[in-house]
Amino acid sequence: MTNQVFARRQYSRWLALLGLLVLAALGFWVWQRSPGARAQRPSPLPQDPRLQAYFNQNQAQSADYRDPYRQP
């Protein structure tokens, strides 16, 4: 009977360790796939000097432009 209890405890420990390992691997995978602040923005495309066009949805480095009439 004590061998069964010991085997059951050891099995549950290995199962818990395996579960933690799977959770850690899943968390690492999600962290690697998230763009976050590590993402590099593409350089802005050249534009005609007579035109100034700004798009808030742009992912380029010039996308930080804020309209002067808008309050932050």
Q: How many Å is the maximal CA-CA distance in the chain?
A: 87
The pTM of the full predicted model, rounded to 2 decimals, is 0.42
Number of compact structural domains in the chain: 1
- Beta carbons of 52 and 68 less than 8 angstroms apart: no
Whole domain around residue 32: which residue ranges?
2-64
Q: Is residue 72 part of a domain?
A: no
Q: How confident is the model at residue 6 (pLDDT cuts 50, 70, 90)?
A: low
Asked if pLDDT for residue 29 goes beyond 70, the answer is yes
Asked whether 42 and 62 are in contact (CB, 8 A), the reply is: no
Asked whether residue 37 is domain-assigned, the answer is yes
**Is 21 part of a structural domain of the chain?**
yes
